[in-house]
Amino acid sequence: MSELLTKELTVRQKEILKSKDLPQQWDELDMSIQESIESIEEMLQFLEQKYGKTFVYAGYKKENRTYHDEESLLAYAVGDDPETQKCLVNRTKDGLEDTYGWVLAFPVFRKKMQDKVSDLLIDNNYKLFTKLLGVSNDGTVKASTVVVVIEAAYDEASKALFDKVASRLSNEEGVYKVLMYCVAPGTTESMAQHNYEQIMNSDNTLGRYSALASASK
């Protein structure tokens, strides 16, 4: 930033600097840190004004032209899960852009997918997760992977069940791929959105079925 907005640090700026073991007085900061802490505050205020929520700093990266990296901020809204509901603010040539629309779209889309297949899976211990791959500016999910983790044997009965799930979801807007993992009894109990991929890669996974939903549209 060629012109800094203020030399009076906010409480939030001081807390961020303190967390990084940096001085909390403006005159004690070098120019690069001054620019960064001002950019961080600007980006947080951008989110807060746009969404009417208070946001918390979670990380920051300066522009790196050598590697074509844009300046970016990682943050989450107060009340959101800091593990799974972080968003990015990027400074582009057109101004600030953010991905909080993805965070807002996620629970709505996941519930929609859950409702679509819950009757098929009602007799099983299972959990359903979603991974968003593309969200438009208006919050519409354009591409996603839907993952069902079910405590069941990896056999013909499970394959038949997966075919029903995949067939039902294949016509849903925004679904690109459907996966179903068969896992050992008790595995799904400790699964959550932030750790399900790690658990699925353990020895508890018995097998996996996969279908590209777009292929049947």
What CA–CA distance (Å, rounded) separates 205 from 217? Answer: 30
What is the structure's pLDDT at 88? 95
DSSP codes of every residue in 54-68: -EEEEEEE--BGGGT
What is the arrangement of strands in the sheet containing 87-92, beginning at the earlier edge strand? 55-61, 71-77, 87-92, 95-98
- Burial tier of 53 (Cβ tally within 10 Å: 0-12, 13-18, 19+): middle
What confidence tens digit (pLDDT) does each residue in 44-80 have? 999 999 999 999 999 999 877 666 678 999 999 999 9
Question: Which distant-in-sequence residues (6+ apart) come within 8 Å of 3 by Cβ?
Answer: none
| pTM as predicted | 0.81
What CA–CA distance (Å, rounded) separates 143 from 102? Answer: 11
What confidence tens digit (pLDDT) does each residue in 93-113 have? 889 999 999 999 999 999 999
State the chain's mean pLDDT as an integer.
91
- CA neighbor of 51 nearest in space, from 68, 75, 34: 75
Map tokens 């016509």 to a residue: 171
